[in-house]
Structure 1
């Protein structure tokens, strides 16, 4: 992977991570107002962004495993950080949406 391809991949990680977290935040907001259909749609959208990021990560890992080393830059670390935080936030958003749903049923 050349430097330009690497930059595009890392920017994809950052964008998809940010989009995934943003969709998870929107899911919580929708659940807070009782719109559980919208909340579910936003969680699904978050999962789709995370899937895109995961595919990019898998490509990078496959290249690394085949002997094509990619230099680790601060930007790459930042991209990976975005993904890790988005995954954690998505998991928590799912739990919060479930809690709002339980409260609404009572």
Structure 2
């Protein structure tokens, strides 16, 4: 549309003043931001998915470590029982050997 005093050759172009220029700049910035936003959101979604995958891997590793710790605790308990049995056997042997050792002396 032709503005008052605008030559016919300038139809379709803008002859914006400072306020209109500022508005156009803001509109352009909003358009650009809207264009970039889906890409950025998709990037964040991919990053979040990767982090969730890493967190799941850590959870599996933690579960495996907990299972290993439980196995180690069971082994330690068995060893403690065996050590107690050995100590009792050594005490019995010492008691049995004492009279023989005394007579040999």
- TM (norm. structure 2) is 0.33
Specify which structure has the bigger relative contact order, considering alpha-carbon pairs within 8 angstroms and separated by 6 or more residues.
Answer: 1
Larger Rg: 2
- TM (norm. structure 1) is 0.32
